[in-house]
């Protein structure tokens, strides 16, 4: 695809913010739209902590999708930052794609999201996700909003209609990114997220929510091997023991699964070295939140 030719022709481009309460499938939908895994998913609440951009370029348009943390009532400073991140992404978009879970219907948390959307004063496209789990007649009305579309992130149902509707709603203009780009986040960031995803997959209860991952080294060696040295931070010594597991077995499983995902992303062999450290109450510590990329200074002081 020729970027120069795209600029000469009539072209639509803009930012579509995926917004909704936690666990409605925003990240799964983004991966389905892009056609590859660029953001992590799990069945645990607040999996997505920062905004992530996925870029889809097709003949006639470029949609920059912004995945956001679920809007929720925060219980700590990290949660507060996640909500502010989602609100900031909503304000910066050209269009809000309001994702709802068709298998659960309209919930009180969805109605809170609706309030945020009305206050944002931008076009809103409601989308019922997980349509593979329900029948159309089970879905309630959404007064005050456009007629919702119906999609399934699992099987891709309804995706062409969603893409057409979003592209139509965007302003005319040249693409923001080269057509081959699928995200503007660095590989280092995505690698850290893939590690955190495997922590979510291999642990239960309070451990997943207390974890942050920091990549200390990300370097390609002369033989083409990508060397990654990363630290998994938890809040208590007991959580460290759970993550490491008997004889280090759980940490080994986490590393093997994360390495496979990172290798697929990079299309290269990866050596992944993981450490587990304790940083007490980091979710309520501004310094730690800055270190882990969850506190945006320019939005604060």
Q: How many CB atoms lie within 10 A of CB 98?
A: 26
Contacts of 167 (CB under 8 A, 6+ apart): 12, 58, 60, 61, 63
CA-CA distance, 291 to 132, in Å (whole number)? 40
Residue numbers in the known binding site are 20-27, 67-71, 129-132
**Secondary structure of residue 273 in the 3-state scheme:** strand
The Cα–Cα gap between 27 and 21 comes to 12
| Residue 218 CA to its chain's centroid (Å) | 22
Locate 201 and state its tokens.
């997959």
Query: Which residues define the annotated binding site for GTP?
Result: 20-27, 67-71, 129-132
The most distant pair of C-alpha atoms in the chain lies apart, rounded to whole Å, by 61
213 bridge partner residues: 232
- Would you say how long the chain is, in residues? 301
């Amino acid at each position: 695809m020729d970027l120069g030719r795209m600029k000469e022709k009539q072209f639509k481009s803009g930012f579509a913010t995926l917004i909704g309460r936690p666990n409605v499938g925003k990240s799964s939908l983004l991966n389905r739209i892009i056609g590859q895994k660029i953001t992590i998913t799990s069945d645990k609440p607040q999996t997505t902590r920062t905004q992530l951009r996925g870029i889809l370029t097709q003949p006639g348009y470029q949609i920059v999708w912004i995945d956001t943390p679920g809007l929720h009532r925060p219980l700590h400073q990290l949660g507060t930052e996640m909500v502010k991140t989602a609100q900031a992404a909503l304000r910066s978009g050209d269009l809000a794609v309001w994702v709802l879970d068709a298998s659960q219907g309209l919930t009180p948390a969805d109605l809170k999201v609706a309030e945020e959307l009305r206050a944002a004063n931008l076009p809103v496209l409601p989308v019922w996700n997980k349509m593979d789990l329900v029948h159309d007649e089970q879905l309630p009305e959404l007064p005050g909003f456009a007629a919702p579309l119906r999609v399934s992130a699992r099987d891709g149902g309804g995706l062409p209609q969603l893409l057409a509707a979003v592209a139509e709603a965007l302003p005319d203009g040249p693409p923001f990114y080269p057509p081959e780009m699928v995200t503007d986040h660095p590989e280092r960031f995505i690698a850290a997220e893939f590690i955190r995803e495997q922590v979510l997959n291999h642990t239960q209860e309070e451990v997943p929510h207390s974890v942050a991952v920091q990549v200390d080294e990300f370097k390609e060696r002369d033989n083409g091997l990508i060397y990654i040295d990363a630290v998994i931070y938890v809040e208590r010594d007991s959580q460290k023991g759970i993550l490491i597991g008997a004889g280090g077995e759980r940490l080994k499983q986490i590393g093997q699964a994360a390495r496979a995902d990172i290798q697929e992303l990079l299309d290269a062999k990866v050596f992944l070295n993981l450490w587990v450290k304790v940083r007490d109450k980091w979710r309520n510590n501004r310094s730690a939140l800055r270190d882990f990329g969850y506190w945006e200074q320019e939005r604060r002081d």
